[in-house]
Structure 1
Amino acid sequence: MKTLTSTLLKAGALLAAALAATPAMAWDICWTNCDFTRTKYPIVLEHGLAGFNELGGVLPYWNGIPENLRSTGAEVYVTQVSPFNSSVVRGESLIAQLDDIRAIKGNNSLKFNLIGHSQGGLDIRYVAAVRPDLVASLTTVGSPHKGSDLITFDVNGQLVPTPATNAFSNFVSMVWSSLGGSPDPISITAVLKNFSPAGIAAFNASFPAGMPTTSCGQGQAVTQTSAGPIRNYSWSGDAPFTNVYDPSDPAMVALSLFYDEPNDGLVERCASHFGTVIRDNYRMNHLDEVNNLFGLTSVLEVDPRTLYRNHANRLKLAGL
């Protein structure tokens, strides 16, 4: 009996260790509430600046999030647009992909719950403005809705080099070489103009739905359109450094020093506000918001996958 008990204890310890070492697998097994994330409309995840589906075949942008949502009933699509271009160009690419999904499913009236991280949040705002028939809800995560005053162009429309823009150009070169190119067109100038004070002001003037009317307030919870109501949500983090083992955290800290307000390393809290603000101070940096790098996020904060699960359930309960 003693030997049997010892064997069972060892087996239990090995199982616990295996589950601890593979959190994504453990999370993706559904034991109860297997329709917790089963929304009426499919969920579509739109990546941000420099985004990708999977980097080097090992690092997914939405790390473990689609699988986790699907495990409890959600229908999830992950889109791929140009990693470096304006939100108008990226938004048009997203529209084409949504129309393709409609065609494949044979449902020309299908709507989607669009979730955009970082620049992806601006992309989905564009889609909602020009093709509201495609949209049931918008959710922006760590999105820079107020752009950046670190980017300036002179009266002749030429970029004024600064430490921030030089760092960005170097970042683009590094990421572009890592991605190995892309079938989508890229334009660094278009990105910088998109997020410059003048560029973002023009974008927000053209597509104001859901934007706060005060500096750090909330926007419209529901936008009324010709194709029906669209619900608006947002959330973000404000902690550049969250995990001592995450090699990307020092970079997030360095980037955060360019800003005067609390931020996630790239986007200030108030700049992330859109629609109903679920929270703007999660202990997460810009990469943690999509469970990167490799899920090395703060042990003192909710698992990022849980945020998406809970939000999918929020959408479900709202009839979306």
Structure 2
Amino acid sequence: MAQALSTRYPLVMVPGMLGFVRLLLYPYWFGIPAALRRGGAQVFVVQVSPVNSNEVRGEQLLRIIERIRRETGADKVNLIGHSQGALTARYAAAKYPQWIASVTSVAGPNRGSELADYYVRRYPADSACGRLLALALRVLAGGIWLLETGQRGPLLPIDVEASHRSLTSEGAALFNRQYPQGVPTTWGGRGAEEVNGVRYYSWSGIVQDKRSDSGGNRFDGSHFFCRLNVRGFFRERECDGMVGRLSSHLGQVIGDDYPLDHLDIVNQSLGLVGKGADPVRLFTEHAARLKAAGL
């Protein structure tokens, strides 16, 4: 498998809200970049503002892409975004499609998250609880910067309200009107697989599958947190604990019912996932898919 995953263009991994490259020794994409590199892929794991709007994060990503293109000599890159990272990648592709070969959304809230709607409704920004939540997120973002060892740099701008707004159903609807590439025109459908020369893909998971409660997830506290979040979903009971199954659709839907919660899908919690689940394989198979497509 030495060159089985050697895509034509570099792979750029974009994290979601409260994302990072590596906190001390703990990577965001646990075991995934290493598996891709073993297959011959050129992989860049990047950092953007952990809490901010899709547009601000997207502009940061464009500057990173420009640097990667300059350093590697590649004309384009393949963007793989987890959670809000998917919307960040979509923004970059909409603005500079000539730089992007493909956008892959992994559990991306492409039509917003009912969980974000729930928090905005339950804890308005001008309420005491809302201000406390905003403070907690700012502290977490600062902590991420302090503990980041994978990509050091200045503290990136933080905007809690803009981040929340971007992730709500209403905010996503506005974003989609401006940047509709790859978004299904019908609820639960599939979007255009290629727009302006950029290929669009997506996959996501659900926690309601009993397999997701087995295996390593018995010892994974984040999994129980995701299961608890399901009570905040009313339109889509099938969700990964943070993003609804149908809301995640973008372009070619590779799968939307993997037994993986929102963090399992990028192999977090040291790879503790449900029995039979293999999130790393989803990424290596996708790199092979991109290579076969000439990307």
Normalised-by-shorter TM-score class: 0.7 to 0.9
Contact 1:85 1:186 in 2 (8 A): yes
Q: Which runs of 4+ in 1 moved over 3 A?
A: 158-163, 165-171
Which letter maps to 1:277? V
Counterparts of 1:38-187 in structure 2, within 5 Å, are 38-55=6-23, 57-105=24-72, 107=73, 110-148=75-113, 149-150=117-118, 152=120, 159=125, 169=134, 172-173=137-138, 175-181=140-146, 183-187=155-159
Contact 2:138 2:160 in 1 (8 A): no
Query: Is 2:220 the partner of 1:246?
Result: yes
Mark the runs of 5 or more structure 2 residues left unpaired by the alignment: 147-153
Q: 1:167 to 1:318 in 2, by over 3 A?
A: farther
User: Structure 1-normalised TM-score?
Assistant: 0.81
Flag the structure with more relative contact order, 1 or 2, with Cα contacts below 8 A and sequence separation at least 6.
2
Q: Report the equivalent of 2:263.
A: 287
Query: Is 2:268 the partner of 1:296?
Result: no
Cα distance in 1 between the residues matched to 2:131 and 2:155: 25
Cα distance in 2 between the residues matched to 1:162 and 1:253: 26
User: Structure 2-normalised TM-score?
Assistant: 0.87
Cα distance in 1 between the residues matched to 2:145 and 2:265: 25
Contact 1:212 1:274 in 2 (8 A): yes
Cα distance in 2 between the residues matched to 1:177 and 1:135: 31
Q: 1:34 to 1:65 in 2, by over 3 A?
A: same
Cα distance in 2 between the residues matched to 1:300 and 1:171: 35
Query: Is 2:163 the partner of 1:191?
Result: yes
Q: Report the equivalent of 2:292.
A: 317
Q: 1:285 to 1:183 in 2, by over 3 A?
A: same
Deviation sequence 1:50-73 (CA, Å, 0-9, x none): 000112x12100111111100011
Cα distance in 1 between the residues matched to 2:145 and 2:87: 25
Between Structure 1 and Structure 2, the one with more helix by share is 2
Query: Is 2:190 the partner of 1:218?
Result: yes
Which letter maps to 1:133? Q
Contact 2:125 2:131 in 1 (8 A): no
Cα distance in 2 between the residues matched to 1:196 and 1:299: 32
CA positional deviation for 1:300: 2.3
Contact 2:112 2:170 in 1 (8 A): no
CA positional deviation for 1:171: 5.5
Query: Is 2:234 the partner of 1:262?
Result: no
Cα distance in 1 between the residues matched to 2:120 and 2:65: 34
CA positional deviation for 1:298: 1.2
Q: For this pair of structures, how many residues does the alignment match? A: 275
Deviates further, 181-190 or 207-216: 181-190
Q: 1:282 to 1:63 in 2, by over 3 A?
A: same
What RMSD in Å do the two structures reach over aligned CA positions?
2.1
- SS of equivalent residue, structure 2 residue 232: coil
Cα distance in 1 between the residues matched to 2:127 and 2:251: 34
Cα distance in 2 between the residues matched to 1:196 and 1:73: 38
Which letter maps to 1:268? G
Cα distance in 2 between the residues matched to 1:191 and 1:59: 24
- SS of equivalent residue, structure 1 residue 211: coil
- SS of equivalent residue, structure 1 residue 257: helix
Q: 1:65 to 1:271 in 2, by over 3 A?
A: same
CA positional deviation for 1:138: 0.7
Cα distance in 1 between the residues matched to 2:227 and 2:133: 15
Q: 1:319 to 1:180 in 2, by over 3 A?
A: closer
CA positional deviation for 1:175: 2.6
Cα distance in 1 between the residues matched to 2:136 and 2:240: 18
Which letter maps to 2:221? P
- SS of equivalent residue, structure 2 residue 284: helix
